[in-house]
Amino acid sequence: MKRFASLFTQVDQTTKTLPKVAALKSYFEEAPEEDRLWCIAIFSGRRPKRTLTTPFLRGWAAEKAGIPLWLFEEAYPVVGDLAETIALVLPPATRDSDQSLTHWINVIRTLPTLEEEERKATVLDAWDQLDPIERFIFNKLLTGGWRVGVSQKLMTRALAQATGQDEAVITHKLMGNWTPDTTTYQQLIEADDPTADLSRPYPFYLAYQLEDGPEALGTPSEWRAERKWDGIRGQLIVRGGEHHLWSRGEDLMTDRFPEFTVTPDFLPDGTVIDGEVLAWADGAPLSFNALQKRIGRKTVPKKLLAEAPVILKSYDLLEFDGEDWRDRPFDERRARLEALVHELPSEVPVKLSPLVAFETWDALTTEREKSRDLNAEGVMLKRGDSPYLSGRKKGDWWKWKVDPLVIDAVMIYAQAGHGRRANLFTDFTFAVWNGNDLVPFTKAYSGLTDAEFREITSWVRKNTQQRFGPVRQVTPHHVFEIAFEGIQESPRHKSGVALRFPRMSRWRKDKPLQEANTLDDLNDMLRIYG
């Protein structure tokens, strides 16, 4: 644990990439293989399951610290992190030990098999032999929600450097539904064939947003355009007579979307298709709301299957006939994909995402403007001769979203954030005018700079009218421009509308309170875009 704690300290103390990668690299070179595997698992979102509920931990920590529980609860929001609060209130350890990371993870994993008294004894015993940083890590593993400034990308780079392998190869090896129980460091990282696991997906290629127009991209004839669908990015794998559906966040979604169980009957073995899972009816996408109902469910009731059936809008072919096609040009992959999908009977829910024809950039601009009517977010641009890369890379693929909708709203409630944002007011509720009343209609958390968050925080402290638990009602004064991607009717909200991806796009210090938008304005938008 000391080695892992030192790694954690090193990456936590810096915001710079190079020292982080260097620290990870030396960890991957020096740590025992078991610990390396767990380290990879932790930084790729494969933490051990939570085995304790937090009320137990809070109670034990307060008791051990000799403070009443209410005092612990008062301190928690100031720290903004439960694992850290516990680590900070506990008295110093009375012993010193240096068990491995794997040892402590195993201790955590055995907790559910123990009686409550034994669990408590085990956790207290652990706290009593770990230093503050080790305790924090131990508590993080206990409570979940591990956010360290290490992206999977950084970890992959460090692993590539430590093992002398290509970054893309490591990325591929880390995909799929492995856990430290189902593999070893040797099998996962050192073994040669990443497709040995039939369910293993390819890393997704992600596009950057095109900030200015497409003119800088050069000749239109070198580029292909598609609609940018507002669904869930998905990779459909048919191998060994079975199918698997992966999300971009590396969630296996196969069981959630039983529509695709027919695919192994129609698609040849060794086929991997990249596309967008969409709720679809009568030849058009349903709203994202319809799909949302499907996302949260592990199993789907019949009624929902009928109401919101899904399809895969296919746009790329990554593997054909068991062969990795990612290095072939887009046009070639696309031609093969079209042939493949055209052969499918209409009941197979794999459809083609059609190309959008355009001769000039002006023509494409016109096409892009139709996006909202088509329930699309914009257009995608892909270079005809481009390979399928892994991760977010600039150059060959671009997303060109339509400009967001905006509305000017008044801030009425504020709440402090968590973790890095503890003690800062970052979560706000906004309202529009309805006569002389302010009607809340959305929350927003992002879009301001750190300096702006600090400025608004100090303002909120001085302008709180009333407190409701962690929420503060503030004097209506500040107007913010709220940007969002879509608007829908919602009986659950007082205003009657729900926004998609709301964020603060501008602090309208120039705008007086009375000039914020009205509920009528919002309803007009609902009529046009809802």
SS3 at position 104: helix
CB neighbours (10 Å) of residue 165? 15
CB of 412 to other proteins, least distance (A): 23
Among residues 478, 480, 477, the alpha carbon closest in space to that of 445 is found at 480
Residues 140 to 179: which contact other proteins by CB under 8 A?
149
Interface with other proteins includes 27 (CB under 8 A)?
Answer: no
Of 150, 424, 439, 474, the one binding other proteins (CB under 8 A) is 424
DSSP 217-286: G--GGGEEEEEEESSEEEEEEEETTEEEEEETTS-B-GGG-GGGGGHHHHSPSSEEEEEEEEEEETTEEP
Q: Restricting to residues 441-480, which ones interact with other proteins according to CB under 8 A?
A: 450, 454, 457-458
Q: What residue type is assigned to position 354 of the chain?
A: P
Q: Does 423 engage in binding with other proteins (CB under 8 A)?
A: yes
The answer to whether 37 and 180 are in contact (CB under 8 A) is yes
CA 232 to chain centre: 12
Nearer to other proteins by Cβ, of 25 and 368: the residue is: 25
Partners of 383 in beta bridges: 223
Tokens at 46, concatenated? 């494969």
Decide: is 88 part of the binding site for other proteins (CB under 8 A): yes
Task: Please report, to the nearest 10 degrees, the dihedral formed by the alpha carbons of residues 302, 308, 314, 318 taken in order.
Answer: -50
Least distance (Å) between residue 89 CB and other proteins: 5
Nearer to other proteins, 14 or 366 (CB): 14
User: Which residues are bridge partners to 407 per DSSP?
Assistant: 482
Q: Which one, 89 or 159, has the nearer CB to other proteins?
A: 89
Answer whether 109's CB lies under 8 Å from 52's CB.
Answer: no
Nearer to other proteins, 183 or 463 (CB): 463
Q: Exposed, middle or buried: residue 510 (CB in 10 Å: 0-12, 13-18, 19+)? A: exposed
Rg (CA), the chain: 26
- Residue 372 engages other proteins in binding (rule: CB under 8 A): no
Min separation Cβ 421 and other proteins, Å: 7
Asked if 85 is part of the footprint of other proteins (rule: CB under 8 A), the reply reads: yes
Give the residue with the Cβ less far from other proteins, 509 or 527: 509
CB of 390 or CB of 426, closer to other proteins: 426
**Number of residues lying near other proteins (CB under 8 A):** 32
9 binds other proteins (CB under 8 A): no
Give whichever of 71 and 196 is closer to other proteins, judged by the CB atom.
Answer: 71
| Least distance CB 452 / other proteins (angstroms) | 12
In the complex, least distance from residue 349 CB atom to other proteins, rounded to whole angstroms:
45
Residue nearer to other proteins on the CB measure, 15 or 466: 15
Contact 65, 90 (CB under 8 A): yes
- Say what angle helices 69-79 and 82-89 make with each other, to 10 degrees: 120
DSSP run (H or E) holding 226: strand 223-229
Between CA 187 and CA 198 the distance in angstroms is 15
CA distance linking residue 244 with residue 254, whole number of Å = 5
Binding range to other proteins, per CB under 8 A, among 78-86, 123-131, 362-370, 492-500: 78-86
Q: Binding residue for other proteins (CB under 8 A) from 1, 41, 89, 516? A: 89
Considering only residues 246-285, where is the footprint of other proteins by CB under 8 A?
none
Query: Which of residues 2, 3, 12, 304 is near other proteins by CB under 8 A?
Result: 12
Which pair of structure tokens corresponds to residue 475? 């004097």
- Tell whether residue 217 is a contact of other proteins (CB under 8 A): no
Cα 174 from Cα 195, distance rounded (Å): 11
Is residue 69 a contact point for other proteins (CB under 8 A)?
Answer: no
Choice between 358 and 453, CB closer to other proteins:
453
Query: Distance between CA 148 and CA 78 in Å, rounded?
Result: 19
- The answer to the question of residue 81 lying near other proteins (CB under 8 A) is yes
- Candidates 13, 184, 292, 366; binder of other proteins (CB under 8 A) is 13
Q: Enumerate the β-bridge partners of residue 273.
A: 236, 317
Q: Nearer to other proteins by C-beta: 14 or 110?
A: 14
CB of 64 to other proteins, least distance (A): 11
Q: Is 93 in the site for other proteins (CB under 8 A)?
A: no
Query: Which of 21, 23, 144 has the alpha carbon at shortest distance from 81?
Result: 144
Single out the residue of 22, 169, 344, 422 in contact with other proteins (rule: CB under 8 A). 422
* Binder among 45, 59, 68, 213 for other proteins (CB under 8 A): 68
Identified binder of other proteins from the candidate list 69, 71, 339, 513, rule CB under 8 A: 71
421 is an interface residue for other proteins by CB under 8 A: yes
Beta strands in 307-450 (DSSP E): 310-320, 323-324, 350-352, 355-356, 376-383, 391-392, 397-401, 405-416, 425-434, 437-444
User: Residue 232 forms beta bridges with which residues?
Assistant: 277
Of 52, 67, 114, 406, the residue at the interface with other proteins (CB under 8 A) is 67
- Span of 52-60, 68-76, 181-189, 483-491 interacting with other proteins by CB under 8 A: 68-76
Q: Can you spell out the DSSP letters for 338-368?
A: HHHHHTS-TTSSEEE-PEEP-SSHHHHHHHH
Using the rule CB under 8 A, give the single segment among 75-83, 214-222, 240-248, 398-406 that binds other proteins: 75-83
Whether residue 61 contacts residue 90, with contact meaning beta carbons closer than 8 Å, is answered with yes
Query: Which of 41, 42, 79, 111 is in the footprint of other proteins by CB under 8 A?
Result: 79
Of the pair 80, 476, the CB lying nearest other proteins is at: 80
Q: Is residue 65 a contact residue for other proteins (CB under 8 A)?
A: yes
Of 122, 130, 63, 125, give the one whose Cα is nearest residue 92: 130
Instruction: Give the interface with other proteins as residue ranges (CB under 8 A).
Output: 12-15, 65, 67-68, 70-72, 74-75, 78-81, 84-85, 88-89, 136, 149, 419-424, 450, 454, 457-458
